[in-house]
Structure formats: structure tokens, C-alpha cells
Amino acid sequence: MNKAKIKICSETAVDHQKVRKVAQSLPPENEIVSLTETFKILGDPTRLKIVLALAREELCVCDLATLFSLSVSAISHQLRLLRGMKLVKYRKVGKMVYYSLDDEHIGGIIQLAHIHVREIP
């Protein structure tokens, strides 16, 4: 019931056939939203750095805070988001919590994007 035709442009400007064809070829809305959530979580320097660091070494919250000169709280907040997206896992050892990457794909996605940005100049 959301598919009602809303008139946005004059009929002459819109190529309805093309529009319909493209509409059918797009992924479903829920997949698009999941995709954007994946990209969004990598779209912040702090979080991306955390992911890159954890891809190399298992680190505790203090290590990450020191590494990026940020407060422990700020790191912890971001780790919570990364946990929510199941991108990182953790291991408790006494008071300390060691985080590491928990995703096989994210590394490849970042690597591909890295190739991309290197070619931009």
C-alpha cells in the first residue's frame, strides 16, 4: 500500500519502463538497510581504526584508548556498536576485556575499499 503512484515529475520526463526495470533489479529494502548499516559502521574514523587494529592484534580497551589517544569511555561506546554488529568478539580475563575481530568479510571489504582510495589521488 505504499506503492501508490506519487506524482513527482511530469509524465514526459520519467521513463517509466526503465524505472520499472531498475526497480525490479534492486535488492529488497531490508537488504539495502543491512548494507547501509554495514557501511555506516565503517564510516567513522574511530570505529574503522578499531576494526583495523583488531584485525591485526587482540587488544584490550586500554590498549585501544592509548593507541588512538581517546578516552576509555569513547572506545567502549564504539566497541558496543561493533559488538552489536557482530564484528568483534571479546574474551574476559579478570578485569580486562580483550577484543578481536569476529568477521571474515569485513577485512576483504576494507581491503577492496583501500585499493579504491589509493587510486584516487
Contact criterion met (CB below 8 Å) for 47 and 82? yes
Are 38 and 14 in contact by the 8 Å Cβ rule? The answer is no
Footprint of a second copy on this chain (CB under 8 A)? Answer: 2, 6, 8-10, 13-16, 18-19, 21-23, 25-27, 31-45, 48-49, 52-53, 56-57, 59-60, 62-63, 65-67, 69-72, 86, 96, 103, 105-106, 108-110, 112-120
Rounded to whole angstroms, how far apart are CA atoms 2 and 29? 13
Q: Are 49 and 57 in contact (CB under 8 A)?
A: no
Residue 78: Cβ within 10 Å count: 21
Which strands form 96-101's sheet, in the order they lie side by side? 59-60, 96-101, 88-93
Instruction: Specify the residue, 55 or 85, whose C-beta has the smaller distance to DNA.
Output: 85
Specify the residue, 9 or 115, whose C-beta has the smaller distance to DNA: 9
State the number of binding residues for DNA (CB under 7 A).
30
In the complex with a second copy, which residue's Cβ is closer, 16 or 91?
A: 16
19 binds DNA (CB under 7 A): no
- Using CB under 7 A, list all residues that contact DNA: 9-10, 12-13, 40, 43-46, 60-62, 70-74, 76-81, 90, 92, 94-98
